[in-house]
Amino acid sequence: MFEISELTRPIVQAPMGGGPSTPELAVAVSEAGGLGFLAAGYKRAEQVSLEIEAVRRGTERHFGVNVFVPSPKPADRAAVSRYMRELAGEAARLGVELGPARFEDDGWEAKLELVCEERPPLVSFTFGCPSAETVRRLHDAGVSVWVTVTRVSEAVSAAEVGADALVVQGTEAGGHRGGFVDDEQAAGIGLLALLSLVRRSVSIPLIATGGIADGAAVAAVLCAGAAAAQIGTALMLAPEAGTTPAQRALLREAIPTGLTRAFTGRLARGMVNRFQAEHSAAAPSAYPEIHHVTSPLRAQARQRGDADGFNLWAGQAHELARERPAAEIIRTLAADARETLAATSRRFAG
Ligand SMILES: Cc1cc2nc3c(=O)[nH]c(=O)nc-3n(C[C@H](O)[C@H](O)[C@H](O)COP(=O)(O)O)c2cc1C
C-alpha cells in the first residue's frame, strides 16, 4: 500500500475539479517526485477511467484519485427557488436558461466500483467521511485512503473509520471547503492552527493544504508536523493545468479572495469578481442543486471569456503562482524548502 514516505519530494498536487486537474499535470508532478492527483468530481466514471489510463501511460509512479462524498439529503426547495429568482437577471443577460436544481450523488457507486477495479495507489475523499466499510473495501483492493478534514472533530471521525492519512485543509485554500458539512463553521480556521490542533488529536500522517505557494511555506508545514504539503493554486499557471484562459490572465493580480456559496451552494474560496460580489449574500447552502442551476451561466461566461461571470477558485496566495512547467514548480518548491529548513535550523544553533 502507498506510503507518503515513499515520495522523493513531499509535495502533493491538489486535486482540482472543474478543469485545472488533468492527467498531464498529474503525470508531470509524479514524475518530478511529488504525488499527482486526478479529480473525479463532476465527471462520469467512464471519463475518470480514461484519465487513469492516461496517467498510467505517462508514468509508473504513484498517483491519487479524488472522489466527492455525496450530500446526505436534498436542500430546502424554497431556498433554492428564491435564489433561482435572484439569478433570473443573469440568465436573461446571457441569453441562457438556468439549469435544473438537480440533487444527485456525482456517480458515487460507479466511482467506488471504478477505483476498486482500477486500484490506483490512493483515493482521497472530499465533502464527507466514507464509511468504515468503504474504507475496508478500498484497503482490500490495495488502495490507500485519505480524507479531507477542516476541523478536529472530522479528523477524529476519519481516523476512526480507518483512513491512512488526512488532508488538513486550512481556510486559506482555494476551491471548496472540503469538510463534512456546509454549516456556519465551514469557513474553518488557519492552516497552522488547524495542523497543531489535529496533530494533538490523531496519530496518522497529515497532508497540509491551503495557501502554500512557495518553498518557505512547504518547509513551514513540514516543521509544523505535516508529512507533506499539498498545493493547488500554485500549479494553476503550469502549461499542463486545464485552467481557463480568463482566469490565467488574472491569477497573478492582487485581487482579494473570499468565501462564497454563490456559484455552487457550497462554501468555496475564489477571487472576488462581479458575480461573487453581487450574489454571495443571497446564496443558500444547497449543493449540488445550485451547482447545476448556475452551470449554464458559468459555461456561457467562460465561453465569452467573461471573468466576472464564473467562479475563479483560488487560494489566498494566488499571486505567487508561476507560469512554469509543473515539474519545475515542484523541483523549485522542494529546493527552496530545503534551503529554508537549513537556514532556519542555523538560527537555533546557539
Ligand atoms: C480550482 C480548484 C479546484 C479544486 N477542486 C477540488 C476537488 O475537485 N477536490 C478536492 O478535494 N479539492 C479541490 N480543491 C481544493 C484543493 O484540493 C486544495 O485544498 C486547495 O487547492 C489548497 O489551497 P491552495 O489552492 O491555496 O493551494 C480545488 C481547488 C482549486 C483552486
- Tell me the C-alpha distance between 45 and 274, whole Å: 34
pLDDT digits (tens, 9 = 90+) for 41-87: 999 999 999 999 999 999 999 999 999 999 999 999 999 999 999 99
Ligand 1 atom at shortest distance from the alpha carbon of 167: 19
3-state secondary structure of 318: helix
- Delimiting residues of CATH 3.20.20.70 domain(s) in the chain: 4-70+105-242+321-344
- Cα(177) to centroid of ligand 1, in Å? 8
pLDDT over 80 (residue 350): no
pLDDT above 80 for 37: yes
Q: Note the pLDDT of residue 189.
A: 98
Do 332 and 231 touch, CB atoms closer than 8 A?
no
Residue 321: per-residue pLDDT: 98
**In angstroms, rounded to a whole number, what is the distance separating the alpha carbons of residues 294 and 262?**
9
Q: How far apart are CA 312 and CA 118, in angstroms?
A: 32
Looking at residue 15, what is its pLDDT?
Answer: 98
Cis peptide before 288 (omega within 30 of 0): yes
Task: Output the CA 109–ligand 1 centroid distance in Å.
Answer: 23
pLDDT at 174: 98
Q: If you average pLDDT over every residue of the chain, what do you get?
A: 97
Taking alpha carbons only, the member of 180, 169, 195 closest to residue 130 is 180
Query: How much distance in Å is there from the Cα of 14 to the middle of ligand 1?
Result: 6
Looking at residue 271, what is its pLDDT? Answer: 98
Residues having CB closer than 6 A to ligand 1 are 14-18, 20, 39, 41, 66, 126, 148, 169, 172-176, 178, 209-212, 231-234, 313-315, 317
Average pLDDT over residues 238-261: 98
pLDDT band with cut points at 50, 70 and 90 for residue 348: confident
pLDDT tens-digit readout, 199-229: 999 999 999 999 999 999 999 999 999 999 9
% of the chain exceeding 70 in pLDDT: 100
Q: How would residue 249 be classed by pLDDT, with cut points 50, 70 and 90?
A: very high
Atom of ligand 1 nearest to the CA of 269: 31
Report the nearest atom of ligand 1 relative to the CA of 42: 8
* Chain segment 161-201, per-residue pLDDT in tens: 999 999 999 999 999 999 999 999 999 999 999 999 999 99
Q: Does the domain at residues 4-70+105-242+321-344 carry the CATH identifier 3.20.20.70?
A: yes
Indicate the SS3 state at residue 149: strand
Residue of 225, 228, 227, 223 lying closest to 344 (CA atoms): 223
How confident is the model at residue 349, as a pLDDT? 77
Q: State how far the alpha carbon of 346 is from the alpha carbons of 284, 332, 340, 343, in Å.
A: 51, 21, 10, 5
Q: What is the largest CA-CA distance in the chain?
A: 68
Using the mean position of ligand 1's atoms as its centre, give its distance from the Cα of residue 16 in Å: 5
Please tell me the distance from the alpha carbon of residue 289 to that of residue 99, in angstroms, as a whole number: 9
